[in-house]
Structure 1
């Protein structure tokens, strides 16, 4: 009988796969000996396989290069990395080896840009595409960057007031983009994205605020939808609407020469995952060229902003199964030595599924289980895989430790989980007050914590000089230990 865990995988999927294979009875991920990591560093642990970041960037560049060549497309392709997916210095250092550009979403992102410039990782020629709702500090930081000569910084206008706010602080001529407030799929709780300006209002906005403004050039139209790039009627319909706006604008705006089609390439979340990236890229390029030719306008430079696709498949998390609880006649709970809420928050917040596989004991018999985290919160659990409404793992045996791995977890988990004090999009934690009442009834306030500062978050991310030295020493120590 085929009762071993390896038998279950063999009969369910094509296995091994490029990133997953067995070394005897243990799992290897992209050639990494996972049990060797566990024996050296213990579990729980997280890891980032940095070379995969460069691999995915180069894959995307090739898809677009091939599509441009096939369709004789006139224009340039620019790959941008969405820093909000993972702001860590080691991630940006790896990504920037590939001659790419950056997309930002908040004020503190610009401090990262300045740090990267000081280190020589980027230059004034690097595009900094600045999205997000902009107020005060974000506006000021963008103005400083542009005033210092970074003219390839392109603020993407998100609302009707931003252009005036930027113009008050920027002392030189500058480029901007406009973000389209795309219409979302009917299943969404909202009909129109809160970000950007509506389709019908973009041309009037350009005519009223930009066309006769000698200090501003409209350079880019920005298109992005929440569901990401998919081969379905909804995506192609929204892209067509976007192209109609682009061609209408181009006819009255000579400076417009770039179309940003956003990001949202999916990443592998199951051993059964299939997505024809090359076909999708080819068809996007083809559609853009067809519409532009029909309307008699030049084809635009194409920008993409890939966040999860850039860094997601580089990450993993490994846990040990501590104990099994038989809670009723059919539910077995395997308790891990960590928490899903804190280390893989997307599994709890948006019911996201990652690839989950045992690291060891593939030749043992298997059973159906639920996975529980260490917290006392009832939502701290993981109960199904992307391809099947269940989890199967080698049978629990307290004499034989079982380790499990979650893979392609490299995007968003640290910031959403609050690693070291991080916040999503580097939005600082607000000032915290304690309010007390004296015996006479008078209220008093006391500052418990100040609002987070840029340097607080940058130190956590590895950009602080003192922390860099300390991390380098730790890395060197680990290398020596491994040798």
Structure 2
């Protein structure tokens, strides 16, 4: 009988895959020996494989270049990174190596932009697209950036008052975009997105508030739907509605030359994942081209704002199975050495599934299990995969430690989980490792942040009566120490 875990995978999926393969009975991810990573850094740990960020960016650029050439498209393509997916410096540093642009969503985003400009990583010709509902600090920061010479900063108008607010703080002329309030899928609890301005109101809004404005010039129309870019009737219908608005605006607004189709490329969430990125891009470019030719207007430059697609597939989390609890005749609970609520909050909050595979013991027999986290919360569990209504792992054995990995977790999990702050039940945030390659292709690792210590959490909670903390309050830092004294290792 084929009862080994490796047999189960061979019978269920095509394996090995581009990023996964075995070396004896241990899993490699992009040729990273994960078992050696565990031996050096222990578990639980999180890691980011930086080269994957650049690979995904270059793939998307290549698909757009191919489609533009195929269809004789006269506009240009601009890749922007949606910073809210991960604001970390190591992510921006890697992404900006690829001649990209930036999309922001709040005031502090622009402080990051200013920091990157000071380091020379963002230039004055880099587009900074400012989305979101803009409170006073966000408006002020946009004004500072533009007034300091960054004329490729484009605030995307989200409501009728923002033009006046921006004009109060910006000296001279500036460019704007308008976000379309797209209609949601029928399964949503509401009909229209809260973000942006309704389809039928955009042209009247332009004629009333922007057309004769002494400072603002309309540059971009922004389109995004929550379900992302999918080959569905709903997506194509919404895109065509957006294109009809673009055509109407373009005929009365010569300065409009860009269409931002937002983000929404999916990340791989199972070993059976299939998505034809090249086809989707080709058809999007084709549809824009056809619509503009039929209306006899110039095609727009195309902007995208890929966030999860940029950084998601670079991340992973590794845990050890500490113990198995047989709670009844059917259910076996494998308890991990961390918490899903705190380290993979999307798995708890929106039932998001990630690729889950064991790191070792692939040639052992397997069993069906549930995974439980360390908190005392009944929701701290993981019970199924994206394409299976169950979890199968090598059988638990007290004398043979089992390590498991969750992959493609690089987007949103740290910011939603409150990286560096309080965690549910005071479960510490795990150590975070950065993985890169040197000029010779060798893997190089470094510690971005150590596992949280009790002193850090106590300080946040206000327990500052510790004499050592009072004597040197600056000693407690969540990430600064690791950044100032990085030690690198070759695996």
Question: What is residue 269 of structure 1 aligned with on the other side?
Answer: 269
Alignment of 1:327-342 (within 5 A): 327-342=327-342
| Structure 2 equivalent of residue 426 of structure 1 | none
Shift of 1:421: 3.4
Q: Distance in 2 between matches of 1:407 and 1:257?
A: 39
Counting only pairs closer than 5 Å after superposition, residues 18-29 of structure 1 correspond to structure 2 as 18-29=18-29
Aligned partners of 1:262 and 1:304 also within 8 Å = yes
- Partner of 1:419, secondary structure, is coil
CA drift of 1:190 comes to 1.4
Structure 1 residue 116 and structure 2 residue 127: aligned?
no
Q: Which residue of 2 aligns with 1:442?
A: none
Match of 2:482 among 460, 471, 474: 471
Is the 8 Å Cα contact of residues 146 and 153 (structure 1) preserved in structure 2? yes
Residue in structure 2 matched with residue 126 of structure 1 by the alignment? 126
- Quick one: distance in 1 between partners of 2:130 and 2:385? 36
8 Å Cα contact 1:88/1:461 also seen in 2: no
Q: Contact 2:420 / 2:478 at 8 angstroms: preserved in 1?
A: no
CA spacing shift, 1:152–1:164, aligned 2, 3 Å: same
Q: Could you tell me which residue of structure 2 aligns to residue 453 of structure 1? A: none
Structure 1 position 181 matched with structure 2 position 181: yes
In 2, the alpha carbon distance for the partners of 1:245 and 1:471 equals 50
Query: CA 1:282/1:471 → structure 2, altered by over 3 Å: closer, same or farther?
Result: same
| Distance in 2 separating the partners of 1:168 and 1:7 | 66
Secondary structure at the aligned position of 2:376 is classed as coil
Return the alpha-carbon distance in structure 2 between the equivalents of residues 461 and 324 of structure 1.
Answer: 32
SS at match of 2:197: coil
Q: Distance in 2 between matches of 1:23 and 1:169?
A: 59
CA distance in 2, matches of 1:351, 1:172: 47
**Cα distance between partner residues in 2 of 1:82 and 1:88:** 12
1:386 aligns with 2:397: no
Instruction: Write the deviation string for residues 101-145 of structure 1: whole angstroms up to 9, x where unpaired.
Output: 000000000000000000000111000000000011000000000
SS at match of 2:297: coil
Aligned residue pair count = 441
**Any unmatched runs of 5+ in structure 2?**
424-460, 463-475
Deviation at 1:422, TM superposition (A): 9.5
Q: Is residue 2:17 matched to residue 1:17?
A: yes
Q: CA deviation at 1:461?
A: 9.7
Root-mean-square deviation over aligned CA pairs? 1.5
Distance 1:135 1:76 in 2: 32
Q: How does 1:300-449 map to 2 (within 5 A)?
A: 300-421=300-421
Q: How many angstroms apart in 1 are the aligned matches of 2:167 and 2:118?
A: 26
User: How far 1:474 moved relative to its partner?
Assistant: 3.2
SS at structure 1 position matched to 2:102:
strand
Show the counterpart of 1:51: 51
**3-state DSSP of counterpart to 1:168:** helix
2: CA distance, partners of 1:380 / 1:190: 29
Q: Distance in 2 between matches of 1:472 and 1:217?
A: 42
Tell me, yes or no, if the aligned pair for 2:75 and 2:302 is still in contact at 8 Å. Answer: yes
In structure 1, the partner of 2:31 is 31
The answer to whether the Cα contact below 8 Å between 1:87 and 1:461 also exists between their aligned partners in 2 is no
Other-structure match for 2:257? 257
Q: 1:334 offset after TM fit, Å?
A: 0.3
Secondary structure of the residue aligned to 1:247 is helix
Correspondence for 1:427:
none
2-structure distance, mates of 1:146, 1:265: 30
Per the alignment, in what secondary structure is the counterpart of residue 316 of structure 2? strand
Distance of 1:85 and 1:242 partners within structure 2: 25
1:338-368 alpha-carbon deviations (Å, 9 max, x no partner): 0000000000000000000000000000000
How far has the Cα of 1:189 moved from its partner? 1.2
**1:229-240 equivalence runs, <5 A:** 229-240=229-240
Match of 2:75 in 1: 75
Q: Is the 8 A contact 1:25 1:363 kept in 2?
A: yes
Q: Tell me the distance in 1 between the aligned counterparts of 2:98 and 2:136.
A: 33
For 1:422 and 1:133, locate their aligned partners in 2 and report how far apart those are by CA, in whole Å.
27
2:212 maps to: 212
Q: Distance in 2 between matches of 1:53 and 1:78?
A: 16
- 1:92 aligned onto 2:103: no
Once residues 11 and 308 of structure 2 are traced to their aligned partners in structure 1, the CA distance between those partners, rounded to angstroms, is 30
Structure 2-normalised TM-score? 0.88
SS of corresponding position for 2:485? helix
Residue 473 (structure 1) shift: 4.5
- Tell whether the 8 Å contact from 2:5 to 2:362 is kept in structure 1 after alignment: yes
Separation (CA, whole Å) in 2 of partners of 1:474 and 1:409: 26
Whole-angstrom distance in 1 between the partners of 2:5 and 2:339: 25
SS at match of 1:420: coil
Shift of 1:460: 8.3
* SS at structure 2 position matched to 1:180: strand
Whole-Å separation in 2 of the counterparts to 1:174 and 1:249? 18
Q: Quick check: 1:414–1:422 contact (8 Å CA) kept in 2?
A: no
